[in-house]
Chains A and B, each alone.
Chain A
């Protein structure tokens, strides 16, 4: 970031101090730090993960954007690129990984499956989009998205970070967003513990009716 970008307009700095002093807002400084070193979690689910690797490799070289430091542990990562189909069997692990990431943390849904279930949406083991569980910041369409599309998504994420304010981001606020997301449970089907009352109301009301599913 050059001094022109970091200085807030409207504050006069004497000529002789121009290269020594900058007057800026805390948000700008924070956001500048955050946007410039987004460390993604080294985490791939399916086909999209291969394009994610290709994005990092020689031709597309994600390092140009300061985001190439893939961390194998969630404790060191800022960004979860959900690259592939989210299945019911996998989603408890994904939610747990997300909870383990320190804030600030972001989620990018890469590809049709992670955004909405994609071509596999009708499958019995498929979660129709990771946004049923995690707050998604950027959706990247495609099946799989090309490396260029992924890079575009990451640049969009940087733009989003630029607009953040520490007064408003969810991890500094009280309320449901600041607590960990409850980990879903594998029962006869995937049980989202936040929806237990809904499920109970439905299953107990359908006892009298005979169902064709066995």
Chain B
């Protein structure tokens, strides 16, 4: 069940006459704000209407008319979104930045600048984020074509119905995935390190002086992109005074594989397997978010049995994600391997269940619009039953005994990487990171989706705001997930697993939808715009891994460089989702 969109409960037009108009396009909701007054309206939305959590900021290119920037704000006390938009011309689009109001917009505005070329005035550090400085063009603009461009939308005619196609290399002049502007002379090209801009930004923000006002020496070191503890190809430029961190810039994009551009060429159903590869630990949760968004657009219900299967799979996915997190966290703290091996042992059991139901260990591609792809056999349900009633609680208690009171763990985690509740909300943190700062905000409770309102469970929350709290929140969450699965297994009915007839090509009416789930890493949202065609016009993923990095610098400043690895580990990033 999706909560009804009740943006009408507050009336922005009455508060800002002639500045705000309701969005009356069919299938759309929310408010359109005059760009010149955006700062004023956004300040009121945050301070007067208390929409303190800015969840998603993204741009849409309505080629050839205009650009639009879409904001989704929430209250941390719960309830549906307040959606507001600004519309700007496509040529030289400029919007005032909302970063001074919600710091959580920082990385998302950089993303919109990089991929769509929307300039945000007043942004403290507006640089490209995924592509490097100097890359030609803004790829998500509808008139920008990638080198291997074949047609605007899939299925490409050469594949179907013609059934004959040449490899992409044979269609491009350089026989490769390359495009150079005409007249570009590679010999005359002088290479400038694209990273210099990041170092400059770091130096600009931090001018360290000691107590006497004398300039002291600092060094910038790079961690990553090939570093054994950065959980993938993440990189951070860290500014150090001695061993103490005084500044930090995440440098991302090393796994930017163009999810959104490819997603706008795919049909709606073809995107489902791509969502698996976002957060590759939790393909089930990713499927869940995407299915919710498209179902919202289509206005179709979900089969009752499928709802239960979805919840069971998403919670199993959360358990294995957190188990791996325990193992990797301890790896980062130097307890090489033993906890990780324990965690992977249990994870394999959950992957067996995924393999039995969906056919694949990691890339499940299991959800369909209106239900799920295959039914779960009685045998598998019994296996899940045994797992959550016996093995998993036992193993989690074992891990609890091994780790929670462990002196090394406690002394490395307690009081390190502090983030206050206000800062956590201001930087749009979600998921365990927000709850470890004492904000009991869990989408399953705050804005229930699917059938989560039928289950008894507690929202894990710890007020300390340090890394130990982040550890405890995840330990509690695993237990709550087991509780949810136990209830779901008791209540699961027999019946069909699809509410509609399965088909390859679905009809999606024009409009927009934002579907979000409480993924193990935070709020995973999918913003989808359809224009009635078989392909989404805009397909945007609100990635918790990326947005949770907004506060990384805050948490690290004043800590030792040795703790950086652990602080980063505690955020729980995954690069497939971060860079997309």
Contacts and interface: CB of A to CB of B under 8 A. Distances in A.
Contacts of A78: none
Given A59-B348, A84-B255, A187-B189, A121 B168 contact: yes
Contacts of A124: 139, 146-147, 177, 179, 258, 261
Contact of A87 (B137, B139, B254): B254
Interface in B216-242: 225-228, 232-233
A136 interface: no
Nearest to A208: B182
Interface in A178-213: 185-191, 195-196, 198-200, 202-204, 206-207, 209, 211-213
A39 B262 CA distance: 36
Given A47-B277, A214-B137, A126 B228 contact: no
B576 interface: yes
Given A47-B280, A122-B265, A188 B184 contact: yes
Interface string B278-289: 001100000000
Nearest to B169: A128
A152 B64 CA distance: 52
Given A44-B232, A54-B344, A191-B186, A199 B144 contact: no
Contacts of A109: none
Contacts of A115: none
Interface stretch (B126-134, B385-393, B530-538): B126-134
A58 B348 contact: yes
A202 B172 CA distance: 11
B183 A203 contact: yes
B134 A186 contact: yes
B180 interface: yes
B66 interface: no
Report, as a range, how many residues of chain A touch the other chain. Answer: 35 or more
Chain B interface mostly helix, strand, loop or mixed? loop
A58 B257 CA distance: 31
B400 interface: no
B173 to A, nearest CB: 5
B262 to A, nearest CB: 6
Given A44-B232, A59-B344, A196-B187, A126 B145 contact: no
Contact of B256 (A58, A125, A211): A125
B410 interface: no
Interface in B272-300: 273-274, 277, 280-281
A143 B254 contact: no
B186 A214 contact: no
B225 A93 contact: yes
Given A89-B131, A122-B265, A200 B185 contact: yes
B143 interface: yes
A204 B145 contact: no
Contact of B191 (A49, A87, A143, A187): A187
B145 A45 contact: no
Nearest to B575: A46
B552 interface: no
Contacts, number: 188
Contacts of A50: 280-281, 362
Nearest to B224: A93
Contact of B348 (A54, A187, A207): A54
Interface in B144-187: 144-150, 168-169, 173-174, 176-187
A123 interface: yes
A128 B176 contact: yes
B370 interface: no
B135 interface: yes
A33 B176 CA distance: 39
Given A45-B233, A196-B186, A214 B143 contact: yes
A42 interface: yes
B182 A144 contact: no
Contacts of B169: 128
A97 interface: yes
Given A59-B348, A191-B186, A213 B132 contact: no
B277 A126 contact: no
B344 A127 contact: no
B225 A90 contact: yes
Contacts of B189: 185, 187, 191
Contacts of A44: 232
A209 B189 CA distance: 21
A120 interface: yes
Contact of B362 (A51, A89, A125, A189): A51
B341 interface: yes
Given A45-B232, A57-B345, A213-B144, A206 B256 contact: no
A125 B131 contact: yes
B522 to A, nearest CB: 19
A56 to B, nearest CB: 9
B265 to A, nearest CB: 7
B258 A186 contact: no
B340 interface: yes
A121 B134 contact: no
Contact of A189 (B136, B265, B348, B361): B136
B363 interface: yes
A72 B178 CA distance: 32
Contacts of A106: none
Given A202-B174, A204-B185, A213-B144, A123 B180 contact: no
A132 interface: yes
B341 A57 contact: yes
Contacts of A196: 186-187
B194 interface: yes
User: By CB atoms of chain A within 10 A, which of B135, B143, B347 has the most?
Assistant: B135
Contacts of A46: 232, 255, 257, 277, 280, 575-576
B345 A202 contact: no
A202 B348 contact: no
A9 interface: no
B363 A143 contact: yes
B147 A89 contact: no
A18 B225 CA distance: 53
Contacts of A51: 361-362
B253 interface: yes
A143 B144 CA distance: 29
Given A72-B227, A122-B148, A125-B139, 8 more contacts: A47-B277, A87-B255, A120-B257, A122-B258, A122-B262, A190-B178, A202-B174, A213-B179
Interface of B: 130-132, 134-137, 139, 143-150, 168-169, 173-174, 176-187, 189, 191, 194, 225-228, 232-233, 253-258, 261-262, 265, 273-274, 277, 280-281, 340-341, 344-345, 347-348, 361-363, 575-576
Q: Which 5 A-B pairs have the closest CB atoms?
A: A123-B258, A57-B344, A47-B280, A188-B136, A124-B146
